[in-house]
């Protein structure tokens, strides 16, 4: 235990000596351990405690809270983008090829340093993305990619604010805040309800935009490995490898999500085609059955007609025979010899 405490003390002295004195006394900047504790607590809550607490509860309806939250995130991200851009990147004061850290106290430099700390703070506000998923029991959204992305970012940005607030690494923040303006705008429209969902056809392009972001960050960071620039190589690797990791994670998410969507649509198309074929076969079968039924009915009717004709013939002969008999008997009654002979003949 004493060895561990001596190691922590030596690390703390290094942080104080090597860290930027301008941010030393700012909230959460004296040591990495508070940030690390918050990140680990976040991961444990959203993966274990939260789902357990919600297991036997109904999901919360957070529609209006989500609308307000996403609206605030759009405004916050837009403000951060503006601050980082106006402090250097879009005013000509920063060089996209190589931008060393300015450790002076000039107003423009301090503005960038403050923007870096607020960018670090924004990574904690993004935890609420996951908290809302848990409270709404959208556990499928709390993926490994989602938790790693949100859980790692505060710790990653902490080192930048502690040692290099400003300079080359802030290009990451510039791109990321722009992407978040687009991303939270998408979430805002999604939370507003069904009537706005027709505007959300570009979901997969949002994921593609995030991957483009990481490619640009990789290129921007790793170029310093091939040119002479007064910027710490350790942070070049730190930022570049984060971009590599997130690119491949988002790429896997993109392929798994949208490839599955394509397969689902193909299966649905096949199902519809099979249903249409079955319906067509059913109609043909019904027609054949109707034809057979009509043929049987006509045959029965024909037989009945033949029988009726036979019975009519028999009845007709019987009536004629009866008339002849009556005619002959009338002759007999009148004493006609021919009638008597005819009657005797017929009675034989």
Q: What's 92's DSSP letter? A: T
Q: Which residues contact 239 (CB under 8 A, 6 or more apart)?
A: 160, 169, 172, 217, 221
Tally of residues, the chain = 348
Cα within 13 Å of Cα(130), Cβ side: 27
146 included as an active-site residue: no
Closest to 207 measured CA to CA, from 158, 144, 253: 253
Phi, psi of 136 (to 5 degrees): -95, 5
Closest to 185 measured CA to CA, from 211, 171, 203, 173: 203
CB atoms closer than 10 angstroms to residue 50: 19
Closest to 84 measured CA to CA, from 214, 174, 175: 174
- In this prediction, residue 323 carries a pLDDT of 43
Distances (CA, A) of 283 to 76, 120, 273, 278, 346: 62, 67, 15, 9, 65
Please state the domain extents for the chain: 28-274, 290-347
- In this prediction, residue 293 carries a pLDDT of 53
pLDDT, tens digit only, all 348 positions of the chain: 677 777 777 777 777 777 899 998 999 998 899 999 999 999 999 999 999 999 999 999 999 999 999 999 999 999 999 999 999 999 888 999 999 999 999 999 999 999 999 999 999 999 999 999 999 999 888 988 889 989 999 999 999 999 999 999 999 999 999 999 999 999 999 999 888 888 888 888 888 899 999 999 999 999 999 999 999 998 999 999 989 988 888 888 778 777 776 677 777 778 887 877 777 766 555 545 555 555 545 544 543 554 455 445 444 444 444 444 443 344 333 444 444 444 344 444
Closest to 156 measured CA to CA, from 15, 10, 39: 39
pLDDT tens string 56-81: 999 999 999 999 999 999 999 999 99
Q: Sign of dihedral through CA atoms 137, 139, 145, 148?
A: positive
Catalytic residue among 93, 114, 146, 149: 149
> What's the rounded Cα separation, in Å, for the pair 235 and 113?
17
- In this prediction, residue 334 carries a pLDDT of 40
pTM of the complete model: 0.73
Q: Maximum Cα–Cα distance for the chain, whole Å?
A: 162
> What's the rounded Cα separation, in Å, for the pair 291 and 315?
36
CB atoms closer than 10 angstroms to residue 75: 12
Residue entry with tokens 């993926």 = 143
CB atoms closer than 10 angstroms to residue 243: 22
């Amino acid at each position: 235990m004493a060895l561990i405490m001596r190691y922590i003390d030596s690390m703390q002295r290094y942080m104080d000596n090597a860290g930027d004195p301008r941010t030393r006394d700012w909230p959460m900047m004296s040591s990495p351990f508070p940030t690390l504790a918050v990140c680990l607590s976040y991961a444990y809550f959203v993966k274990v405690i939260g789902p357990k607490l919600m297991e036997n509860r109904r999901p919360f309806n957070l529609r209006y809270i989500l609308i307000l939250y996403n609206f605030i995130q759009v405004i916050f991200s837009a403000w951060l983008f503006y601050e980082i851009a106006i402090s250097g990147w879009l005013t000509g004061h920063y060089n996209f090829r190589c931008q060393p850290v300015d450790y002076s106290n000039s107003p423009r430099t301090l503005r960038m340093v403050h923007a870096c700390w607020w960018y670090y703070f924004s990574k904690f506000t993004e935890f609420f993305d996951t908290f809302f998923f848990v409270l709404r029991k959208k556990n499928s959204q709390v993926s490994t990619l989602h938790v790693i992305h949100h859980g790692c970012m505060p710790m990653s940005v902490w080192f930048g604010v502690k040692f290099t607030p400003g300079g080359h690494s802030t290009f990451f923040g510039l791109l990321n805040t722009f992407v978040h303006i687009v991303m939270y705008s998408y979430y805002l429209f999604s939370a507003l309800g069904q009537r706005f969902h027709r505007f959300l056809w570009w979901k997969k392009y949002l994921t593609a935009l995030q991957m483009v972001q990481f490619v640009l960050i990789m290129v921007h960071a790793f170029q310093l490995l091939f040119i002479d620039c007064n910027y710490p190589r350790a942070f070049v690797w730190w930022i570049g490898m984060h971009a590599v990791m997130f690119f491949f994670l988002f790429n896997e998410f993109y392929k798994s999500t949208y490839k599955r969507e394509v397969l689902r649509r193909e299966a649905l198309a096949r199902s519809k085609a099979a249903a249409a074929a079955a319906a067509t076969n059913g109609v043909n079968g019904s027609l054949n059955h109707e034809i057979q039924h009509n043929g049987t009915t006509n045959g029965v009717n024909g037989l009945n007609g033949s029988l009726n004709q036979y019975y009519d013939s028999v009845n007709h002969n019987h009536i004629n025979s009866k008339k002849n008999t009556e005619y002959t008997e009338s002759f007999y009654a009148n004493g006609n010899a021919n009638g008597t002979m005819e009657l005797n003949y017929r009675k034989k």
